[in-house]
Amino acid sequence: MFRARPVAMAAALASVALLAAACGSGGGQEDGGGPWKPDRPIEIIAPAATGGGWDTLARTSGRVLEQGGLVDEPVQVVNKPGGGGSIGWAYVAQTPDTPTRLFVTSPPISLVPLMGGSVYDHEDFTPIARLATEYMVYLVPDDSPIGSWGEMADLLKEDPRQVSIAGGSSPGSMDHVGLAGAVNAAGIDPTSINYVPFDGGGEAMTQAVGGHVDAVVTGASEAAGLVESGDLRPLAVSGAERATTLPDTPTLQEEGVDFTFDIWRGVMGPPDMTEEQVAYYEGLFSDMTEEESWKKQTKGLGWTDSYMGSEEFGVFLDESSRDSADILTRIGLIEDGEGR
């Protein structure tokens, strides 16, 4: 019977121990038994093209984390556009042993899977923190003959297909639902509207400015720059109150439409993160929201602070998914009980 020599056996056991330690570190390190922290650059995935809300959140977060000295490693923002977010989610889900790879998120993490656009939903990832909330805005090019939300609604009632409205997410996702819910509340069949999807709010607004579509729906913060430059003209916002960045723009309720839609924004990580890894990021993003630079930049974007830690955010995501299924059913985009 073969027996390993003691020296060889000791070397083999040492190799196994080193391999186990490497696998367990998952891109982080514990100094002298201390808490886990990353030992390589942190990636924040924006599951859309540049210029949209996800991209803005990822880059704002990365900038504040680095400039505030809150991280020892650099923060890299990586854009993974496509599929209303599903390409980016798959990228994270397929590397579950990479806890240094996070992604920014919002309502599409519930909406897109319900519409069959992704095999992954919020339950496949680890909630880290909810950070902020904002509203949607409905806009037209500045030279558009459409003067108000009411005028656009009248045109849609006359013929829903005659007004093309762009959004930066796939059918059944955030921008589409924010539009469909509003027109449904205005007495228009939401399944008949001419919604034109693009990969991100930036691209959708570019199409509107270029005259390729008649209107656009996007997050209020995304549109602020093009409104200020005079390229786009806002008709209404989806909040219960006017957006701080668009104080002269009426709410849908002021326009006689009983509908509101919040865009929450947060951060999630890969599946199977350890408690230590979650605790590190939860504390990191909590500290980030206390930075004056974060408060200043988010105020300028029109975002409202709505921080939640990991556990509370997880409960919120479950509720948000149920609410998403309800609204998709009400506006006729899925049948009751459909979805993942």
pLDDT beyond 50 at 89: yes
Q: Name which residue leads in pLDDT, 33 or 98.
A: 98
Grade residue 222 by pLDDT with cuts at 50, 70 and 90: confident
Three-class HEC string of the chain: CCCCCHHHHHHHHHHHHHHHHHHHHCCEEEHHHCCEEECCCEEEEECCCCCCHHHHHHHHHHHHHHHCCCCCCCEEEEECCCHHHHHHHHHHHCCCCCCCEEEEECCHHHHHHHCCCCCCCHHHCEEEEEEEEEEEEEEEECCCCCCCHHHHHHHHHHCHHHCEEEECCCCCCHHHHHHHHHHHHCCCCHHHCEEEECCCHHHHHHHHHCCCCCEEEEEHHHHHHHHHCCCEEEEEECCCCCCCCCCCCCECCCCCCCCCCEEEEEEEECCCCCHHHHHHHHHHHHHHHHCHHHHHHHHHHCCEEEEECHHHHHHHHHHHHHHHHHHHHHCCCCCCCCCC
- Residues carrying CATH 3.40.190.150, the chain: 34-133+263-330
pLDDT beyond 80 at 39: yes
- Residue 73 exposed, middle or buried by CB count within 10 Å (0-12, 13-18, 19+): middle
Grade residue 83 by pLDDT with cuts at 50, 70 and 90: confident
Q: Name which residue leads in pLDDT, 252 or 1.
A: 252
Which pLDDT tens digit goes with each residue over 10-21?
333 334 333 333
- Judge contact between 136 and 238, C-beta under 8 A: yes
Which pLDDT tens digit goes with each residue over 149-171?
999 999 999 999 999 999 988 88
> Where is average pLDDT lowest: 57-61, 222-226, 227-231?
222-226
Find the helix packing angle between 220-228 and 53-67, rounded to 10°: 90
- Judge contact between 80 and 47, C-beta under 8 A: yes
CATH of domain 34-133+263-330: 3.40.190.150
Provide the pLDDT for residue 13.
Answer: 35
- Judge contact between 325 and 339, C-beta under 8 A: yes
Average pLDDT, the chain: 89
Which pLDDT tens digit goes with each residue over 268-301?
999 999 999 999 999 999 999 999 999 999 998 8
The class that CATH gives domain 135-262 is: alpha beta
Q: Over range 62-78, report the average pLDDT.
A: 98
- Residues carrying CATH 3.40.190.10, the chain: 135-262
Grade residue 61 by pLDDT with cuts at 50, 70 and 90: very high
Provide the pLDDT for residue 22.
Answer: 39
Provide the pLDDT for residue 268.
Answer: 98
Neighbours of 174 (CB within 10 A): 29
Which pLDDT tens digit goes with each residue over 244-260?
889 999 999 999 999 99
Grade residue 195 by pLDDT with cuts at 50, 70 and 90: very high
- Closest alpha carbon to 166 in 202, 196, 191: 196
pLDDT beyond 60 at 52: yes
Which pLDDT tens digit goes with each residue over 106-123?
999 999 999 999 999 999
Provide the pLDDT for residue 18.
Answer: 37
Provide the pLDDT for residue 24.
Answer: 41
Q: Which residues fall within 8 angstroms of residue 227, CB to CB, at 6 or more apart?
A: 139, 233, 234, 246
Provide the pLDDT for residue 33.
Answer: 59
* Residue/partner pairs of 145-154 with CB below 8 Å, 24 or more apart: 146/214, 146/215, 146/235, 148/235, 148/255, 149/235, 149/236, 149/250, 149/252, 149/255, 149/257, 150/255, 150/256, 152/215, 152/235, 153/183, 153/186, 153/188, 153/257
pLDDT beyond 60 at 85: yes
Provide the pLDDT for residue 114.
Answer: 94
Q: Over range 114-143, report the average pLDDT.
A: 96
- The tokens for 133 are 């909330």
Q: Over range 88-104, report the average pLDDT.
A: 97
